[in-house]
Amino acid sequence: MKTILWDMDGVLIDSLGLDLKVINPILEKEFGVKNGVSKDFLKSIFACAVPEFCKMILEKIEKYSEENLNKFIVQFEEFRRNAKFDLLPNVAESLEKFKSQDAVQYVVSNNKEEDIKRILKNCGILKYFEDVIGYDTFGKIAKKPAPDIYIFVIEKVLEKFKKIKQFYVFEDSCVGIRSAVGAKMEAHCPPSLKLRRVNNVPVRVIGVATGADSFENLEKAGADIVIFSLKDFII
């Protein structure tokens, strides 16, 4: 039995494309900033969790305050929860293909668990996943790029499914790649979070160049393999 751990933004859904359309209108309406932020800047912070993402945007436009941050987060999260994001190319086919091969599929994201479920449901693909894991699923643990979230997920899967032979992690950002690579290498994990069975169950980290970072940067971040498309990937 094999398990696939999917990042969401930039791997399954084209959230960057939608973010580019809505961020600057929000900034103009709420904070009076007409030129907003550039596409390159949004791409550079795309992999961050929503609170950090919003904070860095407000700092960039010199409008940061706790009040502004809370207002921005509420509006942005509400927009994301209700939006229907486009799936990235070959995602629907890949989910169906891996399901037909009896792979167990999870989503592991730097978003809130509730928001992940709602977004995936709106996109019509929630049914493919055994479970979804957000930064708040296990309480207060470090977000990606820390390895903690993947360590907890892998342990959870191994406890539930005794016949797992291989993990595949799909990430589009250096932040996510570093998190997954850290989880597969005990030397990079905090002593209290040692992944006891990592040597028995291989973890393969796949960079997907469809989101935040380039092919070259994903390679440098430590991905085992980098692909431009899910179309021809075989587990």
pLDDT in tens, 30-39: 999 998 999 8
CA distance 175 to 221: 8
Residue-wise over 27-44: b if at least 16 C-beta within 10 A, else e? Answer: beeebebeebbeeeebbe
Environment class of 197 (CB within 10 Å of its CB; exposed 0-12, middle 13-18, buried 19+): exposed
Task: State mean pLDDT over 16-21.
Answer: 86
132: phi then psi, degrees, rounded to nearest 5? -125, 145
DSSP string, 30-86: HH--SS---HHHHHHHTTS-HHHHHHHHHHHTT---HHHHHHHHHHHHHHHHH--PP
Check if the beta carbon of residue 103 is closer than 8 Å to that of residue 167.
no
- Higher-confidence residue of 170 and 141: namely 170
pTM above 0.85, yes or no: yes
